[in-house]
Amino acid sequence: MSEEIFKKVVSHSKEYGFVFPSSEIYDGLGAVYDYGQNGVELKNNIRQYWWRSMVQLHENIVGLDSAIFMHPKIWKASGHIDGFSDPMVDNKDSKKRYRADNLLEDQIDKYIKNGKTQKAEELQNALDNAITNNNLEALKYLIIAHEIACPVSGTRNWTDVRQFNLMYKTQMGALAEDAEDVYLRPETAQGIFVNFLNVQKTGRMKIPFGIAQTGKAFRNEVVARGFIMRMREFEQMEMQFFVRPGTEMEWFNKWKESRLQWHLALGTNPDNYRFHEHVKLAHYANAAVDIEYKFPIGFKEVEGIHSRTDFDLSQHQEFSGKKLQYFDPEINQNYVPYVIETSIGLDRMFLVQMCNAFKEEQVQNGEQTETRTLLALPPALAPIKLAVLPLVKKDGLPELARKIMADFKFEFNCHYEEKDSIGKRYRRHDALGTPLCITVDHDSLNDESVTIRHRDTMQQERVKITALKDIIMPQISMNELLRKLN
Ligand code: ATP
């Protein structure tokens, strides 16, 4: 049932110009997607909500836009060249590739579903052990011992388990012999770390302070599935907050709460969010938590908050040979700052919004009931804020509607539409998530009033054209949303 809803969200996204498979006329490209005319607006609005809440509302957070290409040594220092990999295994008959840990996790789920809790526990422990010790042979042994078959071929004809680095490598320089290997960044965070001193010095930043950045990241995911949940090219919104060593847990807890509030301010039911505390920590972290959202296919990570200690700055200090320290005048000491990171996937947040907003309702139309499909997006994030609709294409109504449009188009994204019956136009804008429609009818020419129709309640009210701005602005403005966070 929930899988069904997820499928509906995927097809709705395509049908209404939100998300298209990349290179579709060439049969697509695995786990790469394009954002259509409405998708790009929604994506920009989410990015803007994040950026303004981080940079504009915090005096001690500033922005950055670092390049995708970076010096290759950066990825050695960060640990990505040696450690950013997934264990993979191929089925020799189907030629399908899987993440070995995912195959085993699916098997654990199967045991749990069949009431074999002890077996599930044993396998979980063995899996944790193998992963912690990076023991690829043990992973292969578990796949064989638990008789795991390929979901496609049904056979157990597996290759050995190998590590598969997720970074894309390319070359910089025209001549093959001089060319240097460079990588497409797998996260935006490193661009922030290597600019730490540039920003601190030129911005005269005092600890604690943060640097925020949004941008593309690339990962050659072994198994990419779940629509835009797991893509090979995606966008991150990351903020690294530099603090005095010893104060990191206080800041970690602060950011954990404040990031959840950012999500909840959009009006999402709090039951659909939860924290997932990491028990096993990455080698660089001393605390980590995910914010998970209940997608129709289950709870999945949307954002990670990590206390990264001084790992990154210390590594870059060592590999670059440049001091990355801060002199703290309050305690008269030099130190390498500790870092709290908040990292959210823009595309995953987009998917949260689509899943959360997608609704099918039964409504009465005269004698008949019909299904109304609606995207109940937070108005401030909606691609189109206002549709201006003349009732008919004549009698001076289009002219008046255009005049109203001309006033509003400087404020926000509005849409003029005169094709189809008014009922059909309302339905189309419900499906696009447009929070407000105004209809210009024959009476409008005399009483200088129009009808406002609200997406969620379908209620209509008659208002003076001169009063429109005061009524509409507070309902759709991102400022109102941001004020909730202050
Ligand atoms: P996962 O466990 O889902 O692979 P991760 O823990 O590797 O994610 P991070 O490296 O912490 O993810 O990245 C931060 C955020 O970036 C994630 O919370 C997620 O929203 C997003 N993200 C990571 N990988 C992808 C991807 N392949 N496609 C889309 N978004 C992604």
**pLDDT of 279:** 77
Q: How confident is the model at residue 45 (pLDDT cuts 50, 70, 90)?
A: very high
Q: Is the CB of 185 under 6 A from ligand 1?
A: no
Q: Average pLDDT, whole number, for the chain?
A: 95
Q: Answer yes or no: is the C-beta of 238 below 6 A from any ligand 1 atom.
A: no
Query: Which contiguous run of DSSP H or E holds residue 112?
Result: helix 100-113
Does position 1 have pLDDT exceeding 60, yes or no?
A: no
pLDDT of residue 225: 78
What is the predicted pLDDT for the residue at 176? 66
Q: Is the pLDDT of residue 418 over 60?
A: yes
pTM: 0.92
What pLDDT is recorded for position 134? 83
Distance 372 CA to ligand 1 centre (A): 34
Which ligand 1 atom minimizes the distance to the CA of 221?
27
**Residue 366: its pLDDT value, please?**
84
The residue with greater pLDDT, 486 or 233, is: 233
What's the angle, vertex CA 282, arms to CA 280 and CA 284, rounded to 5?
Answer: 135
Which of 234, 259, 262, 292 for mutating ligand 1's site (highest number of atoms within 8 Å of CB)?
234
Residues in CB range of 443: below 8 A, 6 or more apart: 449
Q: Which residue did the predictor score with more confidence, 280 or 399?
A: 399
Residue 394 has pLDDT above 60, yes or no: yes
Residue 278 is predicted with a pLDDT of 87
Higher pLDDT: 200 or 224? It is 200
Residue nearest to atom 24 of ligand 1 (CA): 230
Pocket test for ligand 1, best of 301, 350, 353, 355 (most atoms within 8 A of CB): 301
Name the more confident of 214 and 2: 214
**Report for 56-65, 219-228, 366-375: range of highest mean pLDDT:** 56-65
Asked if residue 219 has its Cβ within 6 Å of ligand 1, the reply is yes
Over the stretch 147-183, which tens digit does the pLDDT of each residue have? 999 999 999 999 999 999 999 999 998 766 667 899 9
**pLDDT 10s digits, 443-464:** 999 999 999 999 999 999 999 9
Whether residue 229 has pLDDT greater than 80: yes
